[in-house]
């Protein structure tokens, strides 16, 4: 006799199911399948042009998969507009800093917190108080307390990057997509960024794209290697480092 099916099967947080993104005959993503669990950390590595940013774009609804499905908590989202996907609880940080330079650091965070998916609340006083409280928490988390009143435009490059991560965190999205959060940073700032990102997991699931192996090692997450739009391997960084094919294609070149 077959075992009875459990009455509730909880689907994974995010599933990419055989996703292909075809740009006029060029497959930037090619039959990619990937599962992300709530509260987890996944690090996507791969050479330039591997399709890492396009993968993020296809999750957040900026590009449409030509085929395949993207499921968030079991629901298909691959045909939804970006704002709808954001309202479900997925938020993306872009490769380049996009802070509001004419506003203070704390106000940037308040605005991001106000853009929370529980948007209707943001028009009430309680919503405003909540957004400010959230901004105050996040500014501690990103280490910019003493820069709270500085204009965002006057922050250093690294501080701007942290503010941008903070703005994503302030939305309180369940899944945070961070595309090259250490772009333009030196080793010390990168290490601080890894420490910051590690504090996010649990409350959030985080997908980080980066190609700096030292930074990836510090994150200590589940590593996914993309190559020519395909998932070449996944596992711990140790597994990946010990893989000769990967070493030849990617790690060897990165050294």
Q: Which is nearer to ligand ADP, 142 or 209 (CB)?
A: 209
CB of 161 to ligand ADP, least distance (A): 17
Which of 51, 97, 158, 166 is the binder for ligand ADP (CB under 6 A)? 51
CB of 78 to Mg ion, least distance (A): 20
Which of 14, 28, 41, 169 is the binder for ligand ADP (CB under 6 A)? 28
Site string for Mg ion, 46-85 (x = CB under 5 A): ------xx--------------------------------
Which of 30, 40, 42, 53 is the binder for ligand ADP (CB under 6 A)? 53
Residue 182 sits in the site that holds Mg ion (CB under 5 A): no
Residue 54 sits in the site that holds ligand ADP (CB under 6 A): yes
Which of 48, 120, 125, 149 is the binder for ligand ADP (CB under 6 A)? 48
Stretch that binds ligand ADP, among 48-56, 110-118, 144-152, 234-242 (CB under 6 A): 48-56
**Sign, CA torsion 193/185/116/43:** negative
Q: Which is nearer to ligand ADP, 49 or 153 (CB)?
A: 49
Stretch that binds ligand ADP, among 4-12, 23-31, 84-92, 239-247 (CB under 6 A): 23-31
Tokens describing residue 36:
């992300």
Question: Which of 235, 226, 168 minimizes the C-alpha distance to 196?
Answer: 168
Stretch that binds ligand ADP, among 46-54, 116-124, 212-220, 232-240 (CB under 6 A): 46-54
CB within 8 A of 156, min separation 6: which ones?
A: none
Which of 30, 40, 46, 158 is the binder for ligand ADP (CB under 6 A)? 46
In the region spanning residues 156 to 195, those forming contacts with ligand ADP, defined by CB under 6 A, are: none
Q: Which is nearer to Mg ion, 52 or 227 (CB)?
A: 52
Give one DSSP letter per residue of the chain, joined into a string.
-PPPPPS--PPPSEEEEEEEEEETTEEEEEEEEEEE-TT-EEEEE--TTSSHHHHHHHHHTSS--SEEEEEETTEE-TTS-HHHHHHHTEEEE-SS----TTSBHHHHHHHHHHT-S-GGGGGSHHHHHHHHHHHHHHHHHTT-GGGTTSBGGGS-HHHHHHHHHHHHHHTT-SEEEEESTTTT--HHHHHHHHHHHHTTBTTBEEEEE---HHHHHHHT-EEEEEETTEEEEEE-HHHHHT-HHHIIIIIHHH-
Q: Which residues bind Mg ion (CB under 5 A)?
A: 52-53
Q: Which residues bind ligand ADP (CB under 6 A)?
A: 23, 26, 28, 46, 48-54
């Amino acid at each position: 006799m077959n075992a009875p099916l459990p009455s509730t099967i909880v689907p994974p947080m995010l599933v990419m199911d055989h996703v292909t993104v075809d740009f006029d005959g060029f497959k930037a993503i090619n039959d990619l399948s990937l599962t992300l669990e709530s509260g987890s950390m996944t690090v996507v590595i791969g050479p330039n042009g591997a399709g890492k940013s396009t993968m993020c774009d296809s999750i957040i609804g900026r590009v449409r998969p030509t085929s395949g499905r993207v499921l968030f908590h079991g629901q298909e989202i691959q045909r939804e507009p970006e704002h709808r996907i954001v309202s479900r609880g997925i938020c993306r940080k872009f490769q380049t800093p996009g802070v509001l330079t004419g506003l203070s650091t704390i106000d940037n965070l308040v605005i991001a917190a106000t853009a929370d998916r529980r948007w209707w609340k943001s028009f009430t006083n309680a919503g405003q108080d909540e957004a400010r409280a959230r901004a105050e928490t996040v500014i501690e988390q990103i280490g910019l307390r003493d820069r709270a009143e500085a204009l965002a435009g006057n922050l250093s490059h690294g501080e701007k990057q942290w503010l941008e991560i903070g703005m994503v965190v302030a939305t309180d999205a369940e899944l945070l997509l961070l595309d090259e959060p250490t772009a333009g940073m030196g080793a010390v700032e990168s290490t601080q960024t890894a420490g910051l990102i590690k504090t996010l997991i649990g409350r959030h699931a985080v997908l980080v794209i980066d190609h700096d192996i030292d930074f990836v090692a510090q994150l200590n997450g589940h590593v996914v290697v993309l190559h020519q739009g395909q998932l070449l391997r996944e596992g711990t960084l140790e597994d990946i480092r010990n893989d000769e094919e990967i070493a030849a294609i990617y790690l060897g070149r990165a050294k």
